[in-house]
Amino acid sequence: MNSGKSHKLFATLQLILAAGFIGFWAMYFAENPCPHKTIACERFLAFENSFPVPDLGYIVPMLVIGAVGLLKGQRYGVLASLLAGSALIFLGLLDVSFNLQNARYTINFVEGFLNVLINGVCLIFGPILIRNMWRRLEVTKS
C-alpha cells in the first residue's frame, strides 16, 4: 500500500473512531445506562463515569490531531497517532479487566456483544495504529 493511501486510510479510521467515542458518550449521557439501583449498577456507573474526561479530553483529540497531521503530511500526525494507539490499548485493557471482574460480558447478549466489540476495537486498532506509525518514523529516518 502506498504511503499516501495508507495515510488517508489511517486518518479516516481515526476520525471514524473519534466520532464513535463522541457518539458513545452522547448516547451514554442521553439515556439512563443503569436504571436499577444495585451495588453492581453503582459500581458500573462509578467506573464508567471516570472515562469521559480521558476519552473526550485526550484520546479523541489525539485521534483527530493525528488524522489531520497525517492528511497534511506532517510529522505531528504520526506522534499524535502513536499516542492515541497507546491510549487505546490502555483503555481496552482497563475495560477488559473491569468487564471480567464484574461479569459485564455475560449480562445479556447485546451488552456483552457491545463490550466485546468496543474492547476489540481498542485492542486491535491500537497496536495496528502503533505499528503503522512506527514504520512511518523508520521510513522518515532513512
Q: What is the mean pLDDT of each run of 10 residues along the chain (142 residues)?
A: 78 98 94 81 91 97 98 96 98 96 90 94 97 86 60
Full domain range(s) for residue 36: 3-141
User: Which pLDDT score, from 0 to 100, does residue 129 have?
Assistant: 97
User: Which pLDDT score, from 0 to 100, does residue 2 have?
Assistant: 52
Instruction: Tell how many helices (H) and how many strands (E) occur in the chain.
Output: 6, 0
CA distance 48 to 121: 18
CA distance 11 to 3: 12
All three cell numbers of 111, joined, read 451488552
- The count of structural domains within the chain is 1
User: Which pLDDT score, from 0 to 100, does residue 107 have?
Assistant: 86
Give Cα separations from 66 to 8, 18, 73, 91 (angstroms): 11, 11, 10, 18
Do 24 and 58 form a contact (C-beta atoms < 8 A)? no
Give Cα separations from 13 to 102, 121, 142 (angstroms): 30, 11, 27
